[in-house]
Structure 1
Amino acid sequence: MKGIFLLLLIGAVSVALMTDDLIKALAELVGFVCLVALLFLTKKKKRANIKLEAEEL
């Protein structure tokens, strides 16, 4: 899942660098949404690991 978001983020950044106006704005928006999704997935995984460690104690 993270790989898909990462590829989409790279694609959106490359499209934003090569185009102008509306397409650039949409590519930047897609890139931002993908970045937020990656951060959310990473934080969610870290919270799950911490929760498991706390139960083991």
Structure 2
Amino acid sequence: MGRKYSGLYELIENDGEAGDYFDTLPEYVKESIQEREQNINSFESLRDYAANLMRNE
């Protein structure tokens, strides 16, 4: 498991791979993630949350 951050913004600021991945997400997924940004504290949690949102399209 990767490093834990305080939230989405710290994650994408400090983890280039996570930031690049976030940039590729559809806008509606980014918006949903940003609404719950404090729950996204690792690249793994970002990927999992995005996958769940896109699975439920």
TM-score by length of 2: 0.34
Q: Which has the higher contact order (CA 8 A, sep 6+)?
A: 2
The structure that is helix-richer by fraction is: 1
- Rg larger in structure: 1
